[in-house]
Amino acid sequence: MIARIQITLLLAVGVLFAPNAFATPEVDLHELTFYVHVDLIDAGAGQDLPFWQALVDDMVTRGSDLLEGRNGPADQVCCTRITQSAPLVTFGTTGDGLDIIDSAADQTALDGIGTGSRAFLVDMIDYCSGPGGAIGCAEIGSCGNPNDDPDLWLYLSVFDDVTGEILEVLPSVLAHERGHNSCLNHVAGDDCQIMQAAVIRPGMGGCVVASECTSFRNGRTELSSDIDCNCQDDLSLPLADGDVCDESGGICSGGLCGSITGDAGVALIAAADSGEGGLGPEDALRLSGLTGDWENLGQIGAGAENIRAMAYAHDSATLYGVVPTVSNDELWMIDRDTGAMISSVGTIVNGTDEIVAMAYDPGATSGTGDDRLIVLEVTGGGPSATGEFRAIDPATPSSTTLLGGLPFTNASAFSGMAYDSVNDRLFLSTPFGPHGIYETDLSTCPPSACTTTQLPGSGGLFRANGSLSYSKDSGMLYLVGTSLNASPANIRTFYDVIDPATGYSIQTLSLDRFTPAAMAAVPEPNFVMVITAGVFALALTARRRNDLSA
């Protein structure tokens, strides 16, 4: 008997994990010695040597994940990782000026420190084989020469020159500069390419094509004999999301191995606006909760239907979507595996008003009798549009209950909504007013408008077309949105994993581009368990192969 189970049950029964049946490649390692200038050591500001060591640890791990994992169809998984050959050490002397690289003499001085591949953390880079400011600089290595060129160096400017804070894009800068060490040059600005001439803030792009991956692997310092890329096969294809990759409880997600109780155990089903990258009329996408990697599942409806709000009801394992029409909106059931519209649940009688966001509230019980969908219904358009929160019983969608008003105009800009069912908190995302993640307290309304306040940690989340969802399995919020830019060619798609307790984004990734229209988090659908003869073992649904484009 094959049955889907919740992750909590899986852990409780002590499942025996079966390894995947595919050969996995050995990792090409880039072993670097990291140095930090002594003038960056400031124990009074909390920036002592252990602080910088933790920063390097994070850079190495996340920079490697960018290269090894996948951020969309244009990205090639690459079995290469950056690692540390020794604990972090200091260089220079107090006041020697080498914390700011601004001359050829500075470059010569650093080139004489240490041997092998080295990474230097400095305050500022104003010279990189010529005058000019940069956040990273690196020596171009010779091509096709495995096992390291001698005395390769790279520099990282660790502070934002505007805010003075630690740069959030250091992992991608590290991977980018190591690409130069591996004989890679800059490429014309592409959506998420690691070798762009300018790192697109705030997201970290890790996309490489096959030839770039070859250069990274050729530029290794060592071929690992005991470390594998457990979520890739020897054809450099990612194993299917949900494949087992670690006997301690890891599954594949976006080409990486992650915990089944974390982001790897989450799949995101999204609706994507047409007109980009061959998508359309309106297609369903499936995203990895771990890397934001996405694949096109195909057209959502038989016609040109649009989905403008989605929510996953975990008590009934039902994915809902709202289809706007000229008069009234329609509530539909969506297949969570294919993203296709299955059947109409009913008509939401709201006339010319439009539902722009939806979240699921499971109620106080695990049954479906007290389930409700919370929607944001917008009247009018443009900056003067107003919004109301309403509750819908999925059993009788034609009748809605007013919960309260949104205390802001331009209500249609609040296009993302999610409900933290564990802590009973309702969240919204918007690029305006000021931008970020907002929390609405439904207990404060009606008759007055609902108290809606910005989460302090979310001020950097400037996302247009934001789609927001919550997973009770991981306890995290997931946000996909685009940057606002006057030039359409420079619009980027960003993926954020957000801590709902603080509003801070734990990680921001720049994806192979698409424009989201709605999104919902569902449990990883390819992860199932087989029970035979009283013994627990693991089985997987049919494995998929994701098409790659170079």
Residue 14's pLDDT band (boundaries 50, 70, 90)?
very low
The reported pLDDT for the residue numbered 15 is 36
Select the highest-mean-pLDDT range: 197-206, 272-281, 513-522: 513-522
pLDDT at 10 over 60: no
What DSSP assignment string belongs to 390-442? Answer: EEE-TTSTT-EEEEEE-SSS-GGG--EEEEETTTTEEEEEESSSS-EEEEEEG
pLDDT of residue 141: 84
Q: Cβ(463)–Cβ(482) under 8 Å?
A: yes
What is the reported pLDDT for 50?
A: 97
**What mean pLDDT comes out for the span 125-132?**
90
HSE toward the beta carbon, residue 400, CA cutoff 13 A? 24
The tokens describing 530, both together, are 């087989």
Query: What letter would DSSP give residue 460?
Result: T
527-533: long-range pairs with CB below 8 Å, 24+: 527/242, 527/251, 527/260, 527/265, 528/2, 528/3, 528/4, 528/5, 529/2, 529/3, 529/4, 529/5, 529/10, 529/15, 530/1, 530/2, 531/1, 531/3
**Residue 394: count of CB within 10 angstroms of its CB:** 19
Strand partners, 373: 360, 392
CA distance 198 to 248: 39
pLDDT above 80 (res 487): no
- pLDDT for 543: 30
Q: Specify the residue for token string 């010279």.
A: 127
Comparison of pLDDT for 515 and 498, the residue scoring more: 498
pLDDT digits (tens, 9 = 90+) for 372-402: 999 999 999 888 999 999 999 999 999 999 9
DSSP string, 474-495: TTEEEEEEE---SSGGG--EEE
Average pLDDT value for the chain: 86
Does residue 353 carry a pLDDT above 70? yes
pLDDT: which is higher, 473 or 22: 473
Quick: pLDDT tens for 258-316. 999 999 999 999 998 765 555 545 899 999 999 999 999 998 988 768 899 999 999 99
Question: Tell me, what's the pLDDT at 275?
Answer: 56
Q: What is the pLDDT of residue 204?
A: 79
Question: What local confidence, expressed as pLDDT, does residue 530 receive?
Answer: 35
Helix (H/G/I), strand (E/B), else coil: 161: coil
For residue 49, pLDDT over 90 is answered with yes
For residues 272 and 61, give the distance between their C-alpha atoms in angstroms, rounded to a whole number: 30
Q: Using pLDDT thresholds of 50, 70 and 90, give the confidence band for residue 132.
A: confident
Per-residue CA distances from 95 to 91, 106, 127, 161 (Å) = 12, 13, 18, 20
| Average pLDDT estimate for 47-60 | 97
% pLDDT > 90, the chain: 67
Please tell me the predicted confidence (pLDDT) of residue 276.
58
Please answer whether residues 210 and 76 qualify as being in contact, where contact means their C-beta atoms are separated by less than 8 angstroms.
Answer: yes
- Using an 8 Å Cβ cutoff, are 295 and 338 in contact? no
For 452-474, what is each residue's pLDDT tens digit?
A: 999 998 988 889 889 999 999 99
What are φ and ψ of residue 508, in 5° steps? -125, 125
pLDDT value at residue 519: 96
Q: Evaluate if residue 18 carries a pLDDT over 80.
A: no
Q: Are 93 and 211 in contact (CB under 8 A)?
A: no
Closest CA to 231 of 251, 217, 213: 251
Nearest C-alpha neighbor of 260 from the set 272, 276, 243, 274:
243
Closest by CA to 51, choosing from 60, 65, 41, is 41
Residue 38 has pLDDT above 50, yes or no: yes
Are 269 and 334 within 8 A, CB to CB? Answer: yes
What residues form DSSP beta bridges with 75? none
Q: How many CA atoms lie within 13 A of 43 on its CB side?
A: 2
The single-letter DSSP state of residue 16 is B
Q: Is the pLDDT of residue 92 over 50?
A: yes
Tell me the whole-structure pTM to 2 decimals. Answer: 0.89
What's the rounded Cα separation, in Å, for the pair 514 and 256? 22
pLDDT of residue 6: 30
Structural domains in the chain plus CATH codes: 26-227 (3.40.390.10), 306-520 (2.120.10.80)
What is the average pLDDT across 115-134? 92
Q: Please report the pLDDT score of residue 527 as a whole number.
A: 59
**pLDDT given for residue 99 in this prediction:** 97
Q: Please give the pLDDT value at position 197.
A: 85
| Structure-token pair, residue 447 | 């008759």
Instruction: Please tell me the predicted confidence (pLDDT) of residue 248.
Output: 81
